[in-house]
Each structure stands twice: as C-alpha cells, then as structure tokens.
C-alpha cells in the first residue's frame, strides 16, 4: 500500500476538470481515492454554499465513476470542503488516494484513513457527545491506517456540522438546549469539541479535564495535530487521519509543528524540517519541488494582539476575522514555500494556542 497526494486547481466551485483529468490520465484510480480536501472560494461562513456545490459535483462525478449513488460516494470518500481563499490563496483540491501497490520497506511513509461519526443531534454538537464520538473514530482510523503511536500522527482533518436555526428550534420543541442558537457561533463550538476529541486521543488532555463547560472557553486545552472546519452541508463529522507508518510504501512523508501566532514562519519551517526538509532561510528551488502541500489552521488572536502589537481583525464589521486570518497565514506560508496553493483553514478553537494553529507539511523524500 502506498499513499498518493495530488493538488489540482479550481477555476470555480463547480470546476472539477483537474480531478477528472487526474482520473482519466490514469495517474490515480477513482476506486483508490480516500479523501478530497478542497479550498473553495466562498466566505467560509454559515451561508457559504460553494462548499456544498463542490461537494455535490464531486459526489456526482465519483458516483458515476464507481457506479454508486451520490450518498454512497459520500460514505466511501471523505469530501471535506473548507471555504475561504482570501488574499493570494489559490482555490484547489487536494486528492488523497491509497494505491494497492508499494510494499513498506521499514521506512515510515505517509499513511491515511478516512471515516465518519454517526449523525449528531443539534443538542449534541459542541458538547461532550461530539468529543467522545470524534475520539472513537480517530482511534479506529489510526488502527486502519497502521499508525501505531500518537508520535506518528501528524494531522487530523475533521469536517464538522453546525446548528441551523431550524435545528435549534426543533431541539427546543423537544425540550432540549443547544450550545448556541447563533448559527455562526455554533460553528466554533462544533470545531472546538471535535478538536478536543483529537486531543483526547493524542493524550494532550485527559477526559477528566473535559466537560461541556470548558468547550470553546478554556483555551489552555488544545491539540497540536487537529484541524477542524465547520459547514452546513453535513450532520456528522467527516474525519481524515494522516501520519507515518512503516507498513506503507511510496515516497511521501508528513511532519507537523504548531504556529504560536499568525506570523509564525518559524513553525512552518519546523514542520518542513519535521518532514525531512532542512534549510537555513528559505528552501532551495529543489526542496520546494518536494513540497506536495502545506495544511494549516489559523485564527485571529482573541486578545487583539500579535506579539504585543494591536490588530483590528476582530473589530472589522464588514469582513469576518477568520477571513483576515486565512489571508495573513496563507501569505506567510506562501512566502516560504513559494506557492500560494496551500490549504489554510480559519477558526482554530483548541487547535494550537490562542491566535495560532496547527501546521503540517506533506513532502517527497529526497
């Protein structure tokens, strides 16, 4: 078994021509695709329908390729769309596949697995039920991928649901409360609970530290490998685990680090070095060619400061702070790797320190 990872550009949310060409050319087989992570050009907020649009078109295409329904496609392939390509970020898909050929030779190589939790009731989102379900699926997927220890787990991507107005009202009619009846705030709670589920698996926190009351509030609790993103297009958590395993072949590895703030280029460098690319100031052109993609989380620092300097991302009534943060972090990463087509997702509750975020690098071995 070996991992394959491809990046393809998008001209619009419904443009999957790059994915189609990838399959038609034979470089990747449709039956080998495990997950597609997309950066779509919507606003990344509740009413970002670009995510669902891309998801629909991909599910329709792969359903026809595989001879199954769109619903079955969504169960077989994790279609994780993250909205918002502000600044210089280039809209794109990252296609993850596992090809049956390629035996492990004792060297640890990129390993992956994807799956879903059950659907959540609105009163469960952003609460301990979501934490525990996320943890259970992450543990299962690590076993499926052959990732033997948490030290080899480098990135866990989770697509989470949010609580719509209709869902909140339905819960109230059943006598249930929800974590927030504000749809946008519910996105943050859902991301937060899912990130803490990952942290529970990695041992970064213990279950005794957790309760409904600390989710989205106690920022001392976090995961250094979680990346969670919310959307209205699903009711369950879609989860993709990425790590290294000696049972996998191929020429790809993954490493990670944690950005302490939105301008922490040193953490990007550390992630690349953790994956096997070492350099002084900037990677050489040959080293940049080995970078397959950078995956990162970000948020506007909640205290309104970056290294003591005031920022205004939280005070802009026209543009949401997550959109500012994505643009800033993408620019930092792009300046290092020389490529703006990298995956940067906003809203980093419990994903690294406040104002920071996880960052991972997938690279080809030298």
Q: So which residues are the catalytic ones?
A: 159, 229
Residues in the chain: 366
Instruction: Find the Cα–Cα–Cα–Cα dihedral 87, 160, 2, 68, rounded to 10°.
Output: -110
Is-contact 257 333, C-beta < 8 A? no
What are the structure tokens assigned to 49, written together? 């329908």
**Percentages (nearest 5) of helix, strand, coil residues in the chain:** 35, 25, 40
Is-contact 16 73, C-beta < 8 A? no
Task: Tell which residue, 7, 16, 87, 8, has the closest CA to residue 50.
Answer: 16
- Distance, in Å, from the CA atom of 351 to the CA atom of 355, rounded to the nearest integer, reads 9
298 forms beta bridges with: 346
Burial class (CB in 10 A: 0-12, 13-18, 19+), 25: exposed
293 forms beta bridges with: 362
Q: Residue for token digits 């470089």?
A: 27
């Amino acid at each position: 078994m070996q991992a394959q990872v491809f990046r393809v550009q998008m001209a619009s949310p419904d443009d999957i021509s790059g994915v189609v060409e990838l399959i038609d050319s034979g470089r990747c087989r449709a039956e080998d695709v495990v997950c597609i992570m997309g950066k779509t050009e919507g606003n990344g907020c509740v009413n970002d329908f670009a995510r669902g649009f891309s998801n629909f078109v991909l599910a329709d295409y792969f359903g026809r390729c595989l001879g199954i329904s769109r619903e079955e496609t969504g169960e077989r392939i994790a279609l994780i769309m993250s909205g918002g390509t502000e600044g210089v970020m280039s809209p794109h898909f990252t296609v993850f596949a596992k090809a049956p050929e390629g035996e492990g030779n004792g060297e640890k190589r990129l390993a992956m697995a994807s799956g879903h939790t059950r659907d959540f009731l609105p009163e469960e989102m952003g609460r301990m039920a979501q934490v525990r379900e996320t943890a259970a699926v992450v543990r299962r997927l690590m076993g499926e991928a052959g990732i033997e220890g948490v030290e080899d787990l480098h990135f866990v991507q989770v697509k989470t649901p949010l609580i719509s107005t209709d869902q909140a009202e339905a819960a109230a009619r059943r006598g249930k409360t929800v974590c927030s009846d504000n749809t946008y705030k519910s996105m943050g709670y859902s991301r937060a609970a899912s990130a803490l589920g990952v942290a529970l698996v990695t041992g970064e926190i213990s279950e005794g530290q957790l309760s409904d009351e600390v989710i989205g509030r106690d920022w001392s609790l976090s995961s250094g490998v979680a990346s969670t993103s919310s959307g209205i297009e699903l009711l369950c958590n879609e989860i993709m685990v990425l790590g290294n395993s000696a049972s996998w072949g191929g020429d790809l590895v993954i490493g990670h680090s944690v950005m302490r703030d939105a301008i922490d280029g040193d953490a990007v460098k550390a992630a690349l070095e953790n994956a096997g690319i070492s350099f002084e100031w900037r990677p050489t052109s040959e080293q940049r060619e080995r970078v397959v993609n950078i995956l990162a989380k970000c948020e506007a620092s909640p205290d309104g400061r970056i290294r003591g300097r005031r920022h205004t991302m939280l005070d802009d009534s026209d543009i949401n702070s997550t959109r500012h943060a994505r643009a800033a972090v993408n620019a930092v990463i792009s300046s290092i790797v020389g490529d703006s087509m990298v995956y940067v997702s906003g809203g980093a509750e419990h994903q690294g320190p406040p104002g920071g975020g996880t960052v991972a690098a997938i690279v080809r071995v030298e």
